[in-house]
Structure 1
Amino acid sequence: MTREELKALGLSDEQIDKVMEAHGKVVNSTKAKADKVDSLESQIEDYKTQLADRDTQLEELKKIDAEGLKAKIDELQKANETTKTEYEQKLQQQAFEHKLENALVDAKVKNAKALKALLDMDTIKLDGDVLKGLDSQLESLKESDPYLFETEEKPPNSPQIVPPGNPNGGSPTTKSLAEMSYQELADLKANNPAQFAELTKQ
């Protein structure tokens, strides 16, 4: 709301100054607090406080302003409620995304973006601190698309079963280099360099 708009409503300069001062306090307070917000929960609580303060300011303005301005303030209050709803929905969505990302990390997902494309997001709901409808989908995907998840390291070529001092006396694996995956090759090179070197000579 600009000074020109207030003047058009028939307010005096003194009244306009009071309105702008009150509005400025709300804006400055909102910005100062927003800069200090460092978590979703504090954002929600902080914003609720700001909205309560703003409503108080608007009620004070009603007492000192003309009837036309009261109607304008009523309009602003409705807009304020709409803004509040939209903001809370945005924070709820951010909380959902944050919780989902953490859940996918805990599930040892290799590529979260790729896995999300396979999830039925409409059936996943954030209930307090719990994502309902996610676990069952993750279990199904682990069965159908296991490559999307990290697996516990179980090197097929365990160095413990190779007799000491006899790297050429038989390989613990029946795979050739061509049959081994990149991860298997990396594990073999790291855990049994002698055997890796021998295989690369063949």
Structure 2
Amino acid sequence: MEWLKTLLKNAGVEESKIDGIVTDFNKEVPKHLIPKDKYNELSEKTKKLEGDITQRDKQIEDLGKMAGASEDLKKQIQQLQDENKTAKEKYEAELKDLTLTNAIKSALAGKVHDESLVAGLFDRARLVIDGDKVVGLDDQLKTLQESKAFLFKSEEGQGQGQQAGFRIGGDGQGSGQGGSADPFVAALGLKK
């Protein structure tokens, strides 16, 4: 939500109030808007279903033309039923993959350095779609955060301008104060 914070800051809202506004915004938005991943999922479903309907209409038309040959018609019907069953299974697999991809990307949004890389680490076979929820996603995310923490953005230290460490002319503590005339002696904590 950095974009919202930037907009509010540019609009002249005090920084002390921005976090509260963003929190309220995050609570209210899901009540009034459909998330982008859900919209994309529904859009893909619609396109797929429209294509399937067109294909099935053509198949029925072809069957009507062949109605004269009873034995050929039975074979054609069986073949089309088999093809439709295969197409349905393929569609369901694609829909499951799309749903899992959207759920994973949504769970990772803003938390990792490279969403595609981390998304590939999830074991999709262990994820189960239960209505609008993906069971097992939170557990795998938690495990990845613990075992591969370097892939995730740090929540600590964000917003801090300076960190302790080596600074030219500094004392290594991030205080910005100059060291002694001999940096080696200062690093060892010795006095001249």
**Matches of 2:164 and 2:154 in 1, distance apart?**
21
Taking structure 2 as the reference length, the TM-score comes to 0.52
Residue from 97, 100, 105 that aligns with 1:93: 97
Question: How many residues are paired up?
Answer: 132
Residue from 124, 134, 145 that aligns with 2:137: 134
**Matches of 1:59 and 1:80 in 2, distance apart?**
14
Is 2:172 the counterpart of 1:155?
no
Quickly say closer, same or farther: Cα 1:97–1:174, change in 2 above 3 A. closer
CA RMSD of aligned residues (A): 3.7
Deviation at 1:44, TM superposition (A): 4.2
Q: Secondary structure at the match of 1:131?
A: strand
Aligned positions of 1:172-191 closer than 5 A = 175-177=165-167
List, as ranges, runs of 4+ consecutive aligned residues in structure 1 with deviation greater than 4 Å: none
Q: Quick check: which one's helix share is greater?
A: 1
**Matches of 1:44 and 1:97 in 2, distance apart?**
17
* Residue in structure 2 matched with residue 124 of structure 1 by the alignment: 127
Quickly say closer, same or farther: Cα 1:40–1:140, change in 2 above 3 A. same
Taking structure 1 as the reference length, the TM-score comes to 0.50
* Residue in structure 2 matched with residue 19 of structure 1 by the alignment: none
Q: Contact 2:104–2:119 at 8 Å: present in 1 too?
A: no
Quickly say closer, same or farther: Cα 1:70–1:136, change in 2 above 3 A. same
Which of the two has higher C-alpha Rg?
A: 1
Q: Secondary structure at the match of 1:177?
A: coil
Q: Any gaps of 5 or more consecutive residues in structure 2?
A: 1-40, 169-173, 184-192
Q: Which amino acid aligns with 1:175?
A: G
Q: Which amino acid aligns with 1:137?
A: Q
Q: Any gaps of 5 or more consecutive residues in structure 1?
A: 1-36, 158-172, 179-187, 189-194
* Residue in structure 1 matched with residue 87 of structure 2 by the alignment: 83
**Matches of 2:134 and 2:140 in 1, distance apart?**
12
Percent identity of paired positions between Structure 1 and Structure 2? 24
